[in-house]
Chains A and B, each alone.
Chain A
């Protein structure tokens, strides 16, 4: 089996597919790529099934050598993608000849590159998925320099010249996300619920696959006291005791003890994965 040899993983490089749904009752979250649309796109571009395992590279600084001729596609964050020093186009299938080095330089737009590899990253599955769950410590270890990541057999589908969905670079300015009501919206004052939509929030540096904290005014509670822990869904926005909202990510705990005021609509969820620290965020009601 051919492989991708990792020279430098960058800030963080994780193997991710679309996760392991259906195990929350056993305390195992779905996990999976933070930007699911970007992984699915990268996979389609190289002829893989949408859920094949790829690499999620935070910010860049990633370098890897293909042991045999390989096809890759880089989606999600935008920044310089080089094959043996020559810049390649984003969001298209790119040939990486045997022995050539693929390099992802620091992203200029967005935060997380998704790298699809024709054949998929073929590390062993854990509980039906190749995703790394950073909170639970499940799945393949974070990718390290010197790792040899096996590449699976060629899929039947050809490498795609174009995808039916145009790929846009993540935006740099204010990002608008759609919200639907959360199960505990009634734990908050009317003023807090209005403030949620009237505020330009700032993405905190405290952002990872577990959650993305937002900085802004305090969201006051109507109901005091503790909430018994309850299961959350992807995109749940929980509000801490101090009144700060956090959008829960793919590696969130299966249950949480803070009230969920709202939920980021599925159509907006991938954009949360690409928010950079300090980036402004606004919310609007999902239509």
Chain B
């Protein structure tokens, strides 16, 4: 993995990776071994922000920690599998996928399928079949950007964003899927909705989907364990 460490003030380093997959791997490695004095670890599409309290964790020490994580991958605990960047023990990535029930009745479903030159049924089937991962959270509290190697489609955002998108709306933009945790404006293409509570200020963590987590969608109404 080749990364660049970019300056971001006296209390942070912005680590730039070559791809989203590298971001996921680096974030996982860093999150599995957080040093004292680390304040924020924020993955995004091509970067991970490492913010520190420099009185506890000097920036140079944080930079060494990042370089070490790049070389060795996720920290290993208790003799877990070695070598695979995506299978560290104890992290959210190795936990079973979060399953979200979804109804595929979004306003933009047909238009979006047409844009991609496929049928709506195929779009839904691919969305259900894919195993997704939370690449990062952005735009709003708990709004997870999900990516999948099984998802070949990229769609542009709407030309004119909606002023009001209901909570639970399941949507597509670029190569991502995501669900609106709360009602908000938004420019993603709505393909369905989920009843799952994605944001709860009283819960720990407040976000149902956290960076690195695996996610699957299941058609609402199909019973658990009964297949699709």
The interface of chain A, by Cβ under 8 A from chain B, is 21-28, 126-127, 136-138, 180-185, 228-233, 235-236, 253-255, 260, 263, 265-266
Pick from B6, B201, B206: contact of A183, CB under 8 Å:
B6
Given A182-B8, A231-B14, 8 more pairs with CB closer than 8 A: A25-B137, A26-B141, A27-B139, A28-B141, A127-B201, A138-B141, A228-B45, A231-B42
Chain B residues with CB under 8 Å of A24's CB are 40, 42, 49, 51
Q: Is the CB of B7 within 8 A of A181?
A: yes
The answer, yes or no, to whether B83 is at the interface (CB within 8 Å) is no
The answer, yes or no, to whether B9 is at the interface (CB within 8 Å) is yes
Pick from A21, A126, A253: contact of B138, CB under 8 Å:
A253
Q: Is the CB of B41 within 8 A of A25?
A: yes
Chain B residues with CB under 8 Å of A138's CB are 141, 201
Within B13-52, the residues touching A (CB, 8 Å) are 14, 16, 39-47, 49, 51
The answer, yes or no, to whether B12 is at the interface (CB within 8 Å) is yes
Pick from B9, B14, B140: contact of A230, CB under 8 Å:
B14
A266 to B12, CA, bound (A): 12
Q: Is the CB of A230 within 8 A of B206?
A: no
Is chain A's binding surface mostly helix, strand, loop or mixed? loop
Chain B residues with CB under 8 Å of A136's CB are 140-141
Indicate whether A229 sits within 8 Å of B207 (C-beta atoms), given known contacts A180-B9, A235-B9, A255-B136. Answer: no
The answer, yes or no, to whether B143 is at the interface (CB within 8 Å) is yes
The answer, yes or no, to whether B211 is at the interface (CB within 8 Å) is yes
A181 to B136, CA, bound (A): 25
Residue of B nearest to A255 (CB): B138
- Interface contact tally, CB-CB below 8 A: 101
A183 to B141, CA, bound (A): 24
The answer, yes or no, to whether B166 is at the interface (CB within 8 Å) is no
A225 to B7, CA, bound (A): 21
**Interface size range of chain B in the complex:** 35 or more
Residue of B nearest to A185 (CB): B7
Q: Is the CB of A21 within 8 A of B39?
A: yes
Indicate whether A229 sits within 8 Å of B44 (C-beta atoms), given known contacts A265-B9, A266-B10. Answer: yes
Q: Is the CB of B9 within 8 A of A254?
A: no
The answer, yes or no, to whether B11 is at the interface (CB within 8 Å) is yes
Indicate whether A21 sits within 8 Å of B40 (C-beta atoms), given known contacts A26-B205, A27-B138. Answer: yes
User: Which 6 pairs from chain A and chain B are nearest by CB?
Assistant: A231-B49, A183-B6, A228-B45, A231-B42, A27-B137, A230-B47
A96 to B193, CA, bound (A): 53
Within B29-85, the residues touching A (CB, 8 Å) are 39-47, 49, 51
Residue of B nearest to A263 (CB): B9
Q: Is the CB of B45 within 8 A of A229?
A: yes
Least CB distance, A229 to chain B, in whole angstroms: 6
Interface string of B177-218 (1 = CB under 8 A from A): 000001000000000000000000100011100110000000
Least CB distance, A183 to chain B, in whole angstroms: 4
Chain A residues with CB under 8 Å of B12's CB are 233
Indicate whether A229 sits within 8 Å of B11 (C-beta atoms), given known contacts A21-B39, A24-B40. Answer: no
A233 to B7, CA, bound (A): 11
12 A/B residue pairs, CB under 8 Å, sorted by A: A24-B40, A26-B137, A26-B205, A27-B137, A138-B141, A182-B7, A184-B6, A228-B47, A230-B49, A233-B8, A233-B11, A233-B12
From A27, A228, A253, A255, residue with most partner B Cβ within 10 Å:
A27
The answer, yes or no, to whether B168 is at the interface (CB within 8 Å) is no
Residue of B nearest to A260 (CB): B8
Q: Is the CB of A180 within 8 A of B7?
A: yes
Within B110-145, the residues touching A (CB, 8 Å) are 136-143
Pick from B9, B137, B210, B211: contact of A233, CB under 8 Å:
B9
Chain B residues with CB under 8 Å of A228's CB are 44-47
Residue of B nearest to A125 (CB): B201
A181 to B7, CA, bound (A): 7
Q: Is the CB of B8 within 8 A of A183?
A: yes
Residue of A nearest to B9 (CB): A263
Pick from A25, A183, A230, A232: contact of B210, CB under 8 Å:
A25
A229 to B206, CA, bound (A): 23
Least CB distance, A285 to chain B, in whole angstroms: 13
Least CB distance, A60 to chain B, in whole angstroms: 31
Residue of B nearest to A21 (CB): B39
Chain A residues with CB under 8 Å of B142's CB are 26-27
Residue of B nearest to A269 (CB): B9
